[in-house]
Amino acid sequence: MLNSVFAKRTALLKSELRKQGLDSFLVTKDVNVSYLTGFNGHDAAAVITMGRSFLFVDSRYVEEAKDCVKGFDIRLVKRSLYENITEAIEDNRLKKIGFESAELPYEVAERLKGLIKKSFFVPVRGLVEDLRSVKDLDEIRLIRNSIHLAKDVLARVRPFIKPGITEEFIARKIDIDFIENGAKSAFDPIVAADANSSKPHATPTKRKVGKNSVVMIDMGGILQRYNSDITRIFTVGSIKPRMAKIYDVVRTAQAMAIEAVRPGERIAQIDATARRYIRSKGLGKYFGHALGHGVGLEIHEKPTVSGLNEGVLRPGMVFTVEPAVYIPKLGGIRVEDMVLVTDKGCEILSA
Amino acid sequence: MLNSVFAKRTALLKSELRKQGLDSFLVTKDVNVSYLTGFNGHDAAAVITMGRSFLFVDSRYVEEAKDCVKGFDIRLVKRSLYENITEAIEDNRLKKIGFESAELPYEVAERLKGLIKKSFFVPVRGLVEDLRSVKDLDEIRLIRNSIHLAKDVLARVRPFIKPGITEEFIARKIDIDFIENGAKSAFDPIVAADANSSKPHATPTKRKVGKNSVVMIDMGGILQRYNSDITRIFTVGSIKPRMAKIYDVVRTAQAMAIEAVRPGERIAQIDATARRYIRSKGLGKYFGHALGHGVGLEIHEKPTVSGLNEGVLRPGMVFTVEPAVYIPKLGGIRVEDMVLVTDKGCEILSA
Contact predicate A96/A124, CB 8 Å = no
The SS3 of residue A342 is: coil
Amino acid at B299: I
Q: Closest Cα to residue B288, out of B240, B228, B252, B332?
A: B332
So what's the pLDDT on residue B59? 82
So what's the pLDDT on residue A336? 98
CB contact under 8 A, A123 and B104: no
pLDDT tens, residue by residue, B288-313 = 899 999 999 999 999 999 999 999 99
Nearest to B63 among A103, A172, A198 (CB): A198
Nearest to B123 among A41, A60, A106 (CB): A106
| Interval B275-282 mean pLDDT | 98
Residues 6 or more apart whose Cβ sits within 8 Å of residue B308: B268
So what's the pLDDT on residue A62? 86
Amino acid at A107: E
So what's the pLDDT on residue B60? 80
Instruction: Walk me through the domains of chain A, giving residue ranges and CATH numbers.
Output: 3-132 (3.40.350.10), 137-348 (3.90.230.10)
Contact predicate A283/A249, CB 8 Å = yes
The alpha carbon of residue A59 is apart from the nearest alpha carbon of chain B, in Å, by: 6
Residues 6 or more apart whose Cβ sits within 8 Å of residue B281: B249
Which of chain B's residues have a Cβ under 8 Å away from the Cβ of A105? 101-106
Vertex B270: Cα angle to B266 and B273 (nearest 5)? 125
**Distance, CA of B253 to CA of B256 (rounded, Å):** 5
pLDDT tens, residue by residue, A65-76 = 998 899 999 999
In this prediction, does ipTM exceed 0.95? no
Spans of chain A below 50 pLDDT: none
CB contact under 8 A, A110 and B123: yes
**Distance, CA of B147 to CA of B220 (rounded, Å):** 8
pTM score, whole prediction: 0.90
Nearest CA in chain B to A201: B60
Contact predicate B45/B80, CB 8 Å = no
Share of chain B above pLDDT 90, in %: 88
The alpha carbon of residue B107 is apart from the nearest alpha carbon of chain A, in Å, by: 5
So what's the pLDDT on residue B257? 98
Contact predicate B214/B331, CB 8 Å = yes
Which of chain B's residues have a Cβ under 8 Å away from the Cβ of A182? 168, 172
Which of chain B's residues have a Cβ under 8 Å away from the Cβ of A184? 175
**Distance, CA of A290 to CA of A288 (rounded, Å):** 7
Nearest to A289 among B59, B184, B199 (CB): B59
CB contact under 8 A, B105 and A108: no
Q: Is it the case that residue B2 has pLDDT exceeding 70?
A: no
Q: Is it the case that residue B86 has pLDDT exceeding 70?
A: yes
Residues 6 or more apart whose Cβ sits within 8 Å of residue A288: A200, A326, B58, B59, B60
The alpha carbon of residue B301 is apart from the nearest alpha carbon of chain A, in Å, by: 14
Amino acid at A102: A
The alpha carbon of residue B105 is apart from the nearest alpha carbon of chain A, in Å, by: 4
Amino acid at B327: I
| Residue to test with chain B: of A62, A107, A225, most B Cβ within 10 A | A107
The alpha carbon of residue A173 is apart from the nearest alpha carbon of chain B, in Å, by: 9
Q: Closest Cα to residue A165, out of A218, A234, A219?
A: A234
**Distance, CA of A2 to CA of A236 (rounded, Å):** 47
The sign of the CA dihedral A105, A108, A111, A117 is negative
Nearest to A102 among B105, B184, B203 (CB): B105
Residue contacts between A and B (CB atoms, under 8 Å): 106
CB contact under 8 A, A60 and B200: yes
Strand partners for A346: A341
**Distance, CA of A74 to CA of A46 (rounded, Å):** 9
Nearest CA in chain A to B288: A59
Nearest CA in chain A to B177: A176
The alpha carbon of residue B187 is apart from the nearest alpha carbon of chain A, in Å, by: 12
Nearest to A60 among B105, B108, B201 (CB): B201
Nearest to A59 among B104, B105, B288 (CB): B288
**Distance, CA of A287 to CA of B110 (rounded, Å):** 32
Question: Within 10 A of A284 (CB to CB), how many other CB atoms are there?
Answer: 14
So what's the pLDDT on residue A242? 95
Residues 6 or more apart whose Cβ sits within 8 Å of residue A43: A30, A57, A58, A81
So what's the pLDDT on residue B67? 87
Which of chain A's residues have a Cβ under 8 Å away from the Cβ of B101? 105-107, 110
Q: Is it the case that residue B38 has pLDDT exceeding 90?
A: yes
The mean of the pLDDT values for chain B is 95
Which of chain B's residues have a Cβ under 8 Å away from the Cβ of A108? 102, 106
CB contact under 8 A, A104 and B106: yes
The alpha carbon of residue B344 is apart from the nearest alpha carbon of chain A, in Å, by: 33
For residue B342, CA distances in Å to B8, B12, B263, B313, B322 come to: 21, 20, 7, 10, 19
Q: Where residue B1 falls among pLDDT bands split at 50, 70, 90?
A: low
